[in-house]
């Protein structure tokens, strides 16, 4: 691969081991290995570290056996702070990529939730878009139901890859195609200066941004505490920065495994709504990759091939 070709790094935020082995196992069959992986945690739960130590050498070993490429995983963590701070955890991962994984400004960061599996050609397709000058990739993910999710075995995924035929049906594919078309309309409206500033909507559980553009906007806004509006905020700020965007909803597949969630809340009751409603916030957030909110110094360790 030429030196000028962007590399792909994967950032996985999590606070639990739930489905994390399946997420990691899906990386073993990537047609293009990622240049590096970081798992960044909103907790210092030792069970996550134990899972990474057990699974990553096996995943990386398969990648090395197939491609000859050694891929290490960086694990960064700190004690939970009593409230969800997803954006800070994401930024901890970005700082770990910068300080410990050798990422460069021209490389691409794929943000992937720890309960989500990537199709085997996902990294290669992300990289191909980055090589064309795309700075923001907006894909999506299939939402896998409870019964099907319970049948997904990480050992099988590690051995054979993600079997999409057993996970999705025609109706799910039709819904995804409709979303792809809708997002393309939103992108056209955005280029014409019309529509809502954060659309086409970026989904936090699977998206990709050139590292240089993340540095430009100072990453994720750490003043968003709790859930909701975090991703809308990043989308709006990146749109304000005029990033080159590609819609890849139907091209780059990911599979979100089911888990119980909190009862739905009204959007206006979400912790981030008041901040989201402000019109005076800058494109470059104040508390981000640089100038983070106070926290215990995150631990960082490298898990290799073994």
| pLDDT for res 261 | 78
What pLDDT, on a 0 to 100 scale, did the predictor assign at position 270?
81
Q: What is the pTM of this model?
A: 0.95
Question: Cα(132)–Cα(261) distance, rounded to whole angstroms?
Answer: 38
- What domains appear along the chain, each with residue ranges and CATH number? 8-168+202-291 (3.90.550.10)
pLDDT at 196: 86
pLDDT tens-digit map of 73-82: 999 999 999 9
Question: Which pairing describes strands 8-14 and 36-41: parallel, antiparallel, or unpaired?
Answer: parallel
What's the pLDDT at 42? 96
Angle between helices 46-67 and 20-27 (to 10 degrees): 20
Instruction: Give the chain's residues under pLDDT 50.
Output: 1-2
Phi first, then psi: give them for residue 128, nearest 5 degrees. Answer: -60, -40
Q: What are the tens digits of pLDDT across the range 101-151?
A: 999 999 999 999 999 999 999 999 999 999 999 999 999 999 999 999 999
């Amino acid at each position: 691969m030429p030196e000028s070709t962007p590399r792909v790094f994967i950032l996985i935020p999590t606070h639990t081991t739930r489905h994390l082995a399946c997420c990691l196992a899906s990386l073993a069959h990537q047609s293009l290995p990622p240049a590096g992986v970081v798992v960044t945690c909103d907790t210092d739960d030792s069970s996550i570290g134990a899972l990474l130590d057990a699974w990553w050498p096996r995943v990386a070993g398969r990648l090395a056996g197939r491609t000859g490429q050694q891929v290490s995983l960086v694990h960064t963590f700190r004690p939970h702070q009593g409230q969800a701070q997803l954006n800070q955890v994401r930024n901890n991962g970005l700082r770990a990529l910068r300080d410990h994984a050798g990422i460069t400004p021209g490389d691409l960061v794929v943000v992937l939730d720890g309960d989500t599996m990537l199709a085997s050609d996902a990294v290669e397709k992300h990289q191909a878009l980055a090589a064309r000058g795309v700075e923001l990739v907006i894909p999506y993910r299939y939402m896998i139901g409870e019964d099907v999710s319970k049948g997904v075995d990480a050992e099988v995924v590690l051995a054979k890859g993600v079997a999409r035929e057993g996970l999705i049906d025609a109706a799910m594919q039709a819904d995804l195609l409709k979303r792809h078309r809708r997002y393309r309309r939103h992108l056209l409206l955005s280029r014409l200066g019309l529509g809502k500033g954060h659309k086409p909507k970026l989904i936090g559980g699977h998206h990709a941004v050139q590292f240089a553009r993340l540095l430009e906007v100072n990453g994720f806004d750490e003043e968003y505490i709790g859930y909701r509006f975090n991703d809308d905020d990043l989308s709006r700020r990146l749109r304000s920065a005029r990033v080159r965007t590609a819609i890849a909803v139907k091209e780059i597949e990911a599979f979100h495994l089911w888990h119980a969630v909190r009862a739905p809340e009204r959007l206006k009751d979400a912790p981030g709504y008041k901040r989201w409603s402000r019109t005076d916030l800058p494109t470059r957030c104040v508390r981000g990759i640089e100038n983070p909110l106070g926290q215990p110094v995150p631990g960082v360790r490298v898990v290799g091939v073994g």
